[in-house]
Amino acid sequence: MVIRRGPLALITALALGTSAGCRCGSKGSQNNTAAAREGAQPDWEVNPQNYFGTVTVPKGRVLRTSFGPKILSLDPQQTQASWEMPYHVALGLTLVYLDEDAETLLPGFAERWEASDNGTTWTFHLRRGFHWHKFHGEAVYNEADNTMTVNGDGVVTLEEITSADVKYSWGRVLDVQSETPYRPLFRDIFLEGAEEYEAAIQAWTEAADKEKPAAKKKVDELLARIMSESIETPDPFTVVMHLDSPSKIMPEQMWFPVFAVVHRATVEKKYPGAEEGAKDQWTLPENATWSGGYVLAKRTDRVVYLIRVDDSPLWTKEHPGSPAVVGYQSEKCDDMTDMYERGELDALSTACRPPNAMVIEQNGRVRDLTLHPHARLNYMVLNWQRGILRNTQVRQAIAYAMDREDLVKQVLGGLDRVAGTFVPEGFAGFTAGKDYGFTFNLQKARALMEEAKAAMTKAGDYKPGDTLSITIKYRMRQNEVDLAQAFQRYMKEIGITVVLEQMEARAHSKDTNSGNFDAIAASWGSDYMAAMTWWVLALTGNHYNASKWTDSEFDRLAQQAFRTLDEQEALHLDRAAEKILMTRGVHVPLSWGTSVMLVKPYVRGITPNYPDHHFLHDMRIVVE
């Protein structure tokens, strides 16, 4: 069934009613709303100097935003980076959504869901009325008026989405041929058979050529079993998932774009160049069929243009979305900040670290700037298999010699929070009160170095007078250069000579991921609100474990903590795991991140939140 909305759809920006969302944490927004209700002029009109740059409400209501660098793929299931997710969530329908606080669960394709008593069977009851949509025509964005005009049919409604589409989409993610980076998330939610399946894939990847067919056969058999037994669709509007054990990230994690519904016929269609490696052609505006609340109208290398699907059941009075979205993609933070200042961007959530000078300068002086804690860890990895770093005391000495206060102040613009342990404060019960972790203690660091020298002398690895030297590899980014130089300075205090090796990003990534380094600085953001999101950096065999460090006791504690639903027990186990991690000194925590948001006062639906997730279905321009 094809429903067309007229031959010529004209989308011009319209005022979106008076639904006033709360921008919690943003100073002044409440007053603005109250003032507007009373008919008074909003604060930003009366006191524009209290805001960063232009605060004139744009004529049109097209939301102009930027979340960071370029999106690699618009296929929601290929999601990789945090700055891609707002677009993937907008284009792909998932069973549930997160509200702007990134905590409250909202119905998505599923209107309700329930778990069995033992927590291993999840039944999702799907909503009727969700349809596939295509975009036909040409979208023209008028910068001056901030309006989007569509020449052509515009958004075209196709057939209804059913549970069979969900099953197909998840099967596509699980299939190794689809090359989905976040496929292991099915293992992380304990989907029945997914752990065994991942192990089989690993065995197949590592198998010798002659053993590969047999290994692949096992992979295929396990996939077939998962698809027939672990994911069931008893009727067109019910999806049942069977888990190995109860999961603490279910059903919250089902918002993740990797679980989005994709259109089988569009995805599987043979496009030119497929045999040469071309893929994702289905995401091009002229080919794509979308399930989400928006469709892709146009895409250039720097800009993504989305148009709202007005007949989607997703939209409510509280969550009306924006009639259209213009998403700028750039890693040039200064350029984006400049655009915001000029009034060419309505919301900017920057992935830049540290935030640019203009933002730091305005810290605390303007109302539309928010700096908020972010579940992100900046840390160092010390290669426990190389040179003097083989000695645990040397690694611990390094961890104690890092002057984190100075580092945060001098290198990270004074915005981050000092981190002595791995899991950020406030994360799933990890508040204060840890009896372990690193604080800056030069005396202790020097003492540890002396003990290490004695031990190394005894082992014949060190003679008095030898130079103790390590190399830090870092990318050509100013904050990494500054960090490496600071590291060199701190290590000098404990008698370690640090060689600086500046590298191109790809070369750095190659060396990092293959363990070819002495020391590197790294950063990691949480995927979900359980400590396991951090432990993957140190779990044996996990591809995120750059250090290749292995400790069976740590693995056991981390896995057990992830599997238990008892919060106190989980906290106890996670802390025990973290203590081991800190004792070994392979991973040296430095700071916990701060996220920067610049949001015009007339924008609603973007709230500072801990995981730093922002969704286009929440965000909109509001004129009171």
Partner 1 sequence: MLKYIIGRMFYGLVAVFLAASFVFFLCRKAPGGPFDRDKPLPPDVKAMYEKQFGLDLPMSKQYIRFLRKAVQGDFGPSIIMPEKQVIDIIKERLPITITVGVVSMFGVALVIGILSGIIAALRHNKRLDHLIVGGTMIGIAIPDFTTGTLLIYFFCMEHRVFPRQGWGTLLHMVLPVTVMSLYYITTFTRYTRGGMLEVLREEYIVAARAKGLPMWKVVVRHALWGGLRPLLSYLGIAVPFLFGGSTLLVEQMFNLEGIGEYFITAIRDRDYTMIMGIVVMFSVVLSAFTIVIDISYTLIDPRQRRRST
Footprint on this chain of partner 1 (rule: CB under 8 A):
72-73, 80-81, 176-177, 179-181, 183-184, 201-202, 204-206, 272-273, 276-284, 300-302, 330, 332, 335, 338-339, 342, 503-511, 513, 543-544, 546
The three-state secondary structure class of 575 is helix
Residue 219 or 241 with smaller CB distance to partner 1: 219
Phi, psi (degrees; rounded to nearest 5) at 347: -145, 135
Residue 451 C-beta: closest distance to partner 1, Å: 35
Phi, psi (degrees; rounded to nearest 5) at 175: -65, 125
Residue 283 or 391 with smaller CB distance to partner 1: 283
The three-state secondary structure class of 577 is helix
Burial class (CB in 10 A: 0-12, 13-18, 19+), 432: exposed
Residue 583 C-beta: closest distance to partner 1, Å: 26
Residue 274 C-beta: closest distance to partner 1, Å: 9
Q: 10 Å Cβ neighbour count for 442? A: 14
Contacts of 426 (CB under 8 A, 6+ apart): 373, 610
Residue 217 or 510 with smaller CB distance to partner 1: 510
Contacts of 267 (CB under 8 A, 6+ apart): 172, 282
Tokens standing for 205? 């990847």
Residue 521 C-beta: closest distance to partner 1, Å: 12
The three-state secondary structure class of 585 is coil
Residue 125 or 279 with smaller CB distance to partner 1: 279
Residue 71 or 468 with smaller CB distance to partner 1: 71
Contacts of 40 (CB under 8 A, 6+ apart): none
Residue 181 C-beta: closest distance to partner 1, Å: 5
Residue 519 C-beta: closest distance to partner 1, Å: 17
Residue 105 or 303 with smaller CB distance to partner 1: 303
440 to 401, 575, 590: CA distances (angstroms): 6, 21, 10
Residue 144 C-beta: closest distance to partner 1, Å: 10
Residue 463 or 506 with smaller CB distance to partner 1: 506
Residue 88 C-beta: closest distance to partner 1, Å: 15
Exposure class string for 3-42: b at 16+ Cβ within 10 A, else e: eeeeeebebbbeebeeebbebeebebbeebbebbeeeeeb
Residue 511 C-beta: closest distance to partner 1, Å: 8
Are 377 and 592 a contacting pair, CB within 8 Å?
yes
Which residues, listed in sequence order, are joined to residue 308 by a DSSP beta bridge? 294
The three-state secondary structure class of 454 is helix
Kindly tell me the sign of the dihedral angle through the C-alpha atoms of 517, 522, 528, 532. positive
Residue 180 or 396 with smaller CB distance to partner 1: 180
